[in-house]
Structure 1
Amino acid sequence: MKFIQLFLVLCAFNSLIASNLPYELANKVYDAEIKTVTLESDYSSSTIPIISINGGNLRLNFDDLLNEERRFYYKIIHCDKNWNVSGMRDIDFINGFNDELMRNYEYSTNTRIKFIHYWLDLPNENTTFKISGNYVLLIYEENADTPILTRRFIVNENLTGVQISQIYPADVQNIRYKQEFTVNINLNKLKPRNPVDEVSIVMLKNANWDESVNAKPSFFSGNNLRFSKLQTLEFWGLSEYREFDTRSIFRVGRGVEKVHRRADGTDIILQKDTTRTNQVHLFIFDNNGQFYIDNADITKNYSSLNILDQISNNNDPLQLASLRTSIQNSESEDERHSRSDYTEVNFLLDAPILLQENQNIYILGAMNNWQPEEEYLMKYDTRRDMYMAQVLLKQGYYNYYYGIVTDGEKIDYQALEGSWNETENEYLTLAYYKGVGDLYDRVIGFDVFNTNKTSIKY
């Protein structure tokens, strides 16, 4: 009883801490001058930054358009499985120091819009990880009360075997529009006393934490757990992401209508978009909502722009992953971040849809963490009779959706994008374990599943 009381007190305390923080334990930018934030791991099979407790590397990249040297510091925060502060002391989860100065930065080269590019590698000589779990990387300027950005990442123990399988949706009315899954976990040598209470999973779609589902085991036998409660691990399939390619400002890339170069910048006019709710499903290459930075004009490697056409005609998931990697590795790391320029990207949407007073249309994707930010608001142009937005974005390849946002929070993608069971999506499942007496949620395994990988099961 005392243990339960202590546990409840700790939970309440951690919730109180989280509510009083000057930042969120989520992927977010707090400084308007900070652009193009990425946190990537060297595990290429997942778009979520995941490293092993026994090895692996993370790299954070971002630009400061203020273009003046600033002193940025980083802090590591350990969280529970629900992304609340775990209450663990720094000494319990990292070797080395917290609140360290970022020392790596470089001024942009030959760009019309000037910026300073910063990067941070983890782990490093000052900071390594002791335990698994959910983590948040905080970048701040003077102290934690002046946050610059926060980014989530995962440290994994890889103790169990996790396997995702796709099944036909139990929601018969929406069987053509949804995607549903079951998950099996082989615990191997892990021996939980009560698997139903001690082991849980979270499944998320296309690295978007706002499209995630938590679940507990519905069946266990020996070392095997099964998560198969119907209509639990289900998602709207939606459509393939819209795309545009601005890796070259001297050639018109995919999704681009016109390029206007000026002495002080570049305007990119995208091809006009329309609603996709009444169209049939069409498989085209996308990067599952992600973006990456590249500048084909540096290396004159214009042939790499044709890789997208190869992928558009290829449904094999392994070859898709290989071709995606080919694009991302087409240029050296340092060059693509410091020599890729910023452009004003103009979005055009012809959508004869009647919005309520509390509704707006936003551009959403990994480039803005799928959050309805003011910069990505589509405004109605009465003269052109369409919705428009202009967004400052770095050269690269981008995926995006349009979403109708109600009251600034609830996002409806289907109204403009449609939904199909056949859509190619990537799903990640993380397995968590917290045994009796454990002080934190351990990440004991994960699996990445592409819906084009295998046939659907009953």
Structure 2
Amino acid sequence: MKRLFCFTFFFTYCFIVFGQTTAPDYIKSIQLKPIEENNFSTIVPLGTILELNFDDLQGDQKDYYYKIQLMNHDWTPSNLISNQYLSGFQSNIIFDVENSFNTFQNYTHYSVRFPNRNTRITKSGNYLVSILNSDDELIFTRRFTLYESKAIVGVSVSRSRNTANLNTQQTVNFIVNHSGIKINNPNQEIHVAILQNQNWKTAITNIQPQFYKPNQLIYRYTRKTNFWGGNQYLFFDNKIIRNSSINVAKVERKDLYHNYLYPYKVKEVKSYTYNPDINGQFIIRTLEGSNPKTEADYAMMHFSLEVEEEFTGKEVYVYGAFNNFNLSETNQMAYDSTRNTYTANILLKQGFYNYTFVTKSDDGSISQAETLGNFSKTENDYTVIVYYKPFGGLFDRVIGVGNILFEGER
């Protein structure tokens, strides 16, 4: 009975750690990114400094710990033990803790950079950083990938060559040049992942090379590497929280500030609207303080989506990196039949935000087709990750990464 209990506990713990992506409601503004300004990618060269920031709205200066674990290409746990890929400690307390200053919403801000003097990562690969409380309970997780430049990955993007989706999808093709690494069996030793706008939820994996040349793998598919183009992200900027600003129609002062965004009206015939965006990401900033980490306030953001009629059999969500592209009760929209409008109220920290509206079908599929539409000319960022695990190897190295910003065919 004791063995059964231990196994059950271990299985449950692993499922929670590697399955959870949604933080509790009192944890907000989670952002993992390089320290360089306007760089949002968590797929970076080995040795790059990443910074994780988040707020605890309970504001009581809890002790939080970070834990870093190496993962396989498919995000299952690696068989390596921590001292085989880390120099120092796998888990450590977060020391950089500050309380908010001069804000209506009290919060405690937490920040940690790695590598640091206590934790240095020595191998490339997929990594999961977990945040735990003082009782070793998991609070949330975030993914990042560290790569070596052992292979050159050339990426190209074009409108779909599949005539059925010529105007709605984009095709990603790429070539892997690996003269520095001997690959005996690419079908078993090489894995790839293709990401659109840093979103792992829509990543394409399990793709085999179509053609082989000496020291070169060629991936040139017509359908398997197609992504829906989507439309440009909507945005707002409430760096001045007290007054109407970019795409903020009205401001009310209650217990907190309430910012009402201009409604977005769904049209029967969708049209592509070009406006520069940051592909779903967000930037915390304020003009009402010098340190946005602790002086940016929180506002209740009111989102509205006007429709001709309710979407039958589908749920509607506000979607973006502000909640790691998750679908949860927090960002689900409610339908108001008297106004034919979907609404959602989401507490967000001051800043510049990209967002969009998506529908979720009964089968779990997520789509932008019913709200903003899909267009092959949409600007999107694509990343190709190449993993290498030779016969007898113990973990998946990342030997190369290719990136391209597709600006559409106009």
Q: TM-score, normalised by structure 1?
A: 0.83
Q: Any conservation in 2 of the 1:166–1:181 contact (CA below 8 Å)?
A: yes
The 1-side partners of 2:245 and 2:39 are apart by: 26
Q: Any conservation in 2 of the 1:268–1:346 contact (CA below 8 Å)?
A: yes
Q: 1:27 to 1:233 in 2, by over 3 A?
A: farther
Aligned pair partner of 2:389 in 399, 420, 434: 434
Q: Paired residue for 1:316? A: none
Q: 1:133 to 1:288 in 2, by over 3 A?
A: same
Q: What amino acid maps onto 1:159 in structure 2? A: K
Q: What amino acid maps onto 1:449 in structure 2? A: I
Q: Paired residue for 1:102? A: 94
Identity %: 29
The 2-side partners of 1:371 and 1:140 are apart by: 20
Q: What amino acid maps onto 2:55 in structure 1? A: D
Q: Any conservation in 2 of the 1:61–1:118 contact (CA below 8 Å)?
A: yes
Aligned pair partner of 1:400 in 349, 355, 361: 355
The 1-side partners of 2:209 and 2:33 are apart by: 30
1:23 equivalent in alignment to 2:16: yes
Deviation at 1:381, TM superposition (A): 2.1
Q: Any conservation in 2 of the 1:77–1:136 contact (CA below 8 Å)?
A: yes
Q: 1:118 to 1:277 in 2, by over 3 A?
A: farther
The 2-side partners of 1:432 and 1:370 are apart by: 24
1:48 equivalent in alignment to 2:38: no
Q: Paired residue for 1:174? A: 165
Aligned pair partner of 1:371 in 315, 326, 338: 326
The 1-side partners of 2:87 and 2:251 are apart by: 49
Q: Paired residue for 2:54? A: 62
Q: What amino acid maps onto 2:292 in structure 1? A: R
The 1-side partners of 2:19 and 2:244 are apart by: 35
User: Runs of 5+ in structure 2 lacking a partner?
Assistant: 1-8
Q: Paired residue for 1:338? A: 294
Q: Residues 331-350 of structure 1, C-alpha deviation per residue, up to 9 Å, x if partnerless?
A: xxxx1111100001011111
Q: Paired residue for 1:309? A: none
Most deviating of 444-453 and 401-410: 401-410
Deviation at 1:406, TM superposition (A): 2.4
Q: Paired residue for 2:109? A: 117
Q: Which structure dedicates a bigger proportion of its chain to helix?
A: 1
Q: Any conservation in 1 of the 2:267–2:307 contact (CA below 8 Å)?
A: no
Q: What amino acid maps onto 1:394 in structure 2? A: K
Q: 1:246 to 1:27 in 2, by over 3 A?
A: farther
Q: Any conservation in 2 of the 1:47–1:206 contact (CA below 8 Å)?
A: no
Q: 1:276 to 1:154 in 2, by over 3 A?
A: farther
1:412 equivalent in alignment to 2:405: no
The 2-side partners of 1:168 and 1:417 are apart by: 18
The 1-side partners of 2:88 and 2:337 are apart by: 58
Deviation at 1:255, TM superposition (A): 1.5
Deviation at 1:256, TM superposition (A): 1.1
1:422 equivalent in alignment to 2:377: yes
- Root-mean-square deviation over aligned CA pairs: 2.1
Q: Any conservation in 2 of the 1:245–1:254 contact (CA below 8 Å)?
A: yes
The 1-side partners of 2:10 and 2:212 are apart by: 36
Q: Any conservation in 2 of the 1:162–1:445 contact (CA below 8 Å)?
A: yes
Q: Any conservation in 1 of the 2:382–2:404 contact (CA below 8 Å)?
A: yes
Q: Any conservation in 2 of the 1:294–1:336 contact (CA below 8 Å)?
A: yes
Q: TM-score, normalised by structure 2?
A: 0.92
1:361 equivalent in alignment to 2:352: no
Q: 1:209 to 1:123 in 2, by over 3 A?
A: same
Other structure's SS at 2:330 match: helix
Q: Any conservation in 1 of the 2:310–2:335 contact (CA below 8 Å)?
A: no
Q: 1:186 to 1:58 in 2, by over 3 A?
A: same
Deviation at 1:23, TM superposition (A): 2.5
Other structure's SS at 1:21 match: helix
The 1-side partners of 2:169 and 2:245 are apart by: 32
Most deviating of 253-262 and 390-399: 253-262
Q: Any conservation in 1 of the 2:159–2:377 contact (CA below 8 Å)?
A: no
Q: Any conservation in 2 of the 1:26–1:150 contact (CA below 8 Å)?
A: no
Deviation at 1:79, TM superposition (A): 0.5
The 2-side partners of 1:70 and 1:156 are apart by: 34
Q: Any conservation in 2 of the 1:43–1:56 contact (CA below 8 Å)?
A: no
Q: Any conservation in 1 of the 2:307–2:340 contact (CA below 8 Å)?
A: no
Deviation at 1:27, TM superposition (A): 7.3
The 1-side partners of 2:138 and 2:151 are apart by: 36
The 1-side partners of 2:185 and 2:101 are apart by: 58
Q: Residues 314-344 of structure 1, C-alpha deviation per residue, up to 9 Å, x if partnerless?
A: xxxxxxxxxxxxxxxxxxxxx1111100001
1:161 equivalent in alignment to 2:152: yes
Q: Any conservation in 1 of the 2:159–2:376 contact (CA below 8 Å)?
A: no
